[in-house]
Amino acid sequence: MSNLSDFELSRRGMMVGTAIATTLPSLADASPASVAVVHSARVAFEVNGQPQQLELDTRTTLLDALREHLHLTGTKKGCDHGQCGACTVIVDGRRINSCLTLAVMHEGAKVTTIEGLGAPGHLHPMQAAFVKHDGYQCGYCTPGQICSAVAVLDEIRAGIPSHVTGDLTGPIKPTNMEMRERMSGNICRCGAYSNIAEAMAEVAGEKA
């Protein structure tokens, strides 16, 4: 019996020793010397015509900088993977998904959000057209849709082709197909696409 008891004791000892050995690396990782250091940086840019300067964790996205630090909550966080377009803003005249870019990458940039396009009583023509043509239902994607629509018409006026642009020898026309192709990165779960196209056509001076 004593031999069996000795065996049980040694087995327990081995199990305890093994458990301690496996936790040692974790304890070492938790030491102060190995804790990840949060790096911050100062970024200065212009947002909706106003100079802004923020001290941010370098991992902060432009979307979170706008929403959480500047409290411009018109820009929406949808998929957070750059697939829905709800977070679209205009940076230096070009539309981008603000969830896919870091704020510190835009030092000195000019950022325009939905709040910077217009306000009640002084709407941007695209905002007014969306209201007129009922280009929204739940409204969650609407800020990104409008920012993208404004930039799309600027792209067309600048002669930047899309995948469906045909004749490149003359000016690009804001046709229904052209605008729909360019807006394909902005998803509307409510399905207000036809009304959005009509709003854009009115601003562009074309028939939808």
Same domain (yes/no): 181, 153:
yes
Per the structure, how many domains does the chain have? 3
What distances in angstroms separate CA 87 from CA 51, 60, 78, 190, 197, one per listed residue? 21, 14, 7, 17, 19
Confidence bin at 167 (pLDDT 50/70/90): confident
Same domain (yes/no): 50, 128 = no
- pLDDT tens, residue by residue, 29-82: 555 655 668 799 999 999 999 999 999 999 999 999 999 999 999 999 999 999
Instruction: Identify the pLDDT of residue 17.
Output: 63
If asked whether residues 60 and 28 sit together in one domain, one would say no
Cα–Cα dist 168/172, whole Å: 7
Pair (170, 143) in one structural domain: yes
pLDDT of residue 169: 83
Q: Do both 78 and 153 map to the same domain?
A: no
Q: Of residues 190 and 6, which shows the higher confidence score?
A: 190
Nearest-angstrom CA–CA distance, 181 and 161: 11
Stated pTM of the model? 0.81
What would the pLDDT profile of 76-135 be if each residue is shown by its tens digit? 999 999 999 999 999 999 999 999 999 999 999 999 999 999 999 999 999 999 999 999
Shared domain for 126 and 203, answered yes or no, is yes
Q: Residue 105: which CATH number?
A: 3.10.20.30
Q: pLDDT tier at 196 (50, 70, 90 boundaries)?
A: very high
CB 114 within 8 A of CB 67: no
The verdict on 40 and 111 lying in the same domain is yes
7: containing domain: 2-34
In terms of Cβ atoms closer than 10 Å to its own Cβ (0-12, 13-18, 19+), residue 97 is buried
CB 64 within 8 A of CB 121: no
pLDDT at 2: 52
Residue 54, helix vs strand vs coil: strand
Q: What is the pLDDT of residues 170-194, one digit of tens each?
A: 899 999 999 999 999 999 999 999 9
pLDDT confidence bin for 7, thresholds 50/70/90: very low
What pLDDT shows up at residue 204?
A: 95
